[in-house]
Chains A and B, each alone.
Chain A
Amino acid sequence: MIDCRQCRTSFRTPPEKIGARCPKCKAPLFERPDKHPRVVELTACAVHPGVDAVETCQRCSKTMCAACRTRWHGEVLCPTCVELSISRAEPNPRELRKQANRAMWSLALAFIGWLLVLFALMLIVSRRQDALGWPIAFGLLSLVPALFAVGHGCPVLLSRGPRFQVAATGMITSGLHLGLLSGVLLVNLWHN
């Protein structure tokens, strides 16, 4: 639900379809009021000479008025620098953080899978013949984190994202795990 601060009308349209302004009173819907406005003094906007500047671009240091000021990937830039960033296809810092988290999860899930396999092996080694069902159950359960580790690590490897080495380690670890389990299963089925 989007509410217009000016005319107090509510809209059920999703933000990506409603537009920048209220359909009723044309007031901007998503502009946040400046809680601590910077002092506007002396200098003019580089694009609009008749308007006072409120900010300088964090990349090219050009002065900007409120209309030119644009928030892009956590920085305050001028429209020219934003277009340059788009043309260079610069990744969003939020996406880079997600890729880094995926790489860490890939490694963590691979280790969890191995822990479950080691626990199942411990149960077998303890020679409790009546508890054979539990090692099989833990062995099958260990496949779930291993497969998720593969799924988390693959996009990081494909896009060469941050923590590439961590994702590769997670993929190799979970790949060994899956290969080991598949091998043990096939050997058991073949001999029996």
Chain B
Amino acid sequence: MIWFACPKCQKVHGRPDNACGAMIFCTCGHGLTVPWESTAPEPVHPPATPAQDTARVEPLTFGASVPPPEREPPPAPRLGRRGARYNYDPNFCFNHDSRPKQKICDDCGLSFCDDCAVVFRGQTLCGPCKNYEAKLLQRPTRTSPYSLTSLLVALAAGPMMFCLLSMSASRGYYAFTLLALAPQVIAFVAGLLGLRAAHADPRIGGQGIAITGMATACFTAALTVALTWYGMRLS
């Protein structure tokens, strides 16, 4: 046994030799590390009570037909390995078969005792359901589909504008290039919707992508108008 004292309240603790290096907590709340060897004297134990006389044991008698004592049947297994449904009594705690139901988890609906239920954000939850709720609150943001649409359409509108420009130049009708403004307007509107969705729901992100799409759409639209005007001036 390793004996050591709490530096805060001087209470002496004892642990087996294989617990050295482990972290424990004293009754005063102070955290302690079990040392490699005893750093405090072993406390004086009260004298042991004398052993009582053992009951006289009768010798075995062979040949007599003594019926075996009645035993309770073994408890049913709690959980099966392959798809066996758990048979739990809703009137008792899910984790402690012998404790009566005191609370019901608002998420999974199972019955628990007071020691297994936690109040979290106004709800009574069991440990796994409380951890699940906390994990859902920490999920990374997902990109709004409007933002992605804005960026992709804006990037595609640029080459489309040049293709329309060359087609217009071959036909001599430069106003045809203004058709390229349609996807640019769509990209700008989609970017606005993406920013609005990100502002409304903190779990939705993609503001950077939406702004890139809107900026690209604006710049490409300005380039479209400038090149169309230039072409019309030339013709």
Q: Give chain A's interface residues, CB within 8 Å of chain B.
A: 6-9, 16, 19-21, 24-31, 38-39, 41-43, 47-48, 50-51, 53, 56, 61, 63, 65-73, 79, 82-83, 86, 92, 94-95, 102, 143, 147-148, 150-152, 154-155, 158, 178, 182, 185-186, 189, 192
Contact = CB atoms under 8 A, between A and B. Distances in A.
Given A7-B82, A155-B207, A30 B132 contact: yes
A38 B21 CA distance: 11
B168 to A, nearest CB: 16
A147 B130 contact: no
Interface stretch (B49-57, B60-68, B177-185, B216-224): B216-224
Contacts of A192: 230
Given A7-B80, A39-B19, A67-B115, A19 B130 contact: no
A108 B50 CA distance: 83
B115 A21 contact: no
Contacts of B79: 6-7, 25, 27
Interface of B: 13, 19, 22-27, 29, 31, 79-86, 88, 94, 107-108, 110, 114-121, 126-141, 151, 207-213, 215-216, 219, 222-223, 226-227, 229-230
A154 B213 CA distance: 12
Given A7-B84, A182-B219, 6 more contacts: A26-B108, A56-B31, A65-B115, A71-B131, A151-B151, A151-B208
A21 B108 contact: yes
Contact of B212 (A31, A151, A158): A151
B140 A39 contact: no
Contact of B208 (A48, A56, A69, A154): A154
B94 A154 contact: no
A182 B222 contact: yes
A112 B227 CA distance: 26
Contacts of A19: 107-108, 129, 132
Contacts of A86: 121, 137
Contacts, number: 157
A164 to B, nearest CB: 15
16 contacts: A8-B81, A20-B126, A20-B131, A25-B83, A25-B85, A27-B79, A27-B86, A31-B128, A38-B22, A39-B19, A42-B25, A47-B118, A63-B29, A151-B210, A155-B211, A158-B207
For the complex of A and B, the 6 pairs showing the least CB-CB separation, nearest first, are A151-B212, A20-B132, A67-B127, A28-B128, A41-B24, A43-B25
B223 A53 contact: no
Given A41-B25, A71-B131, A48 B219 contact: no
Contact of A39 (B22, B135, B141): B22
Contacts of B22: 38-39
Contact of A73 (B24, B133, B136, B138): B138
A26 B23 contact: no
A151 B84 CA distance: 53
Which of B25, B108, B115: most chain A Cβ within 10 A? B25
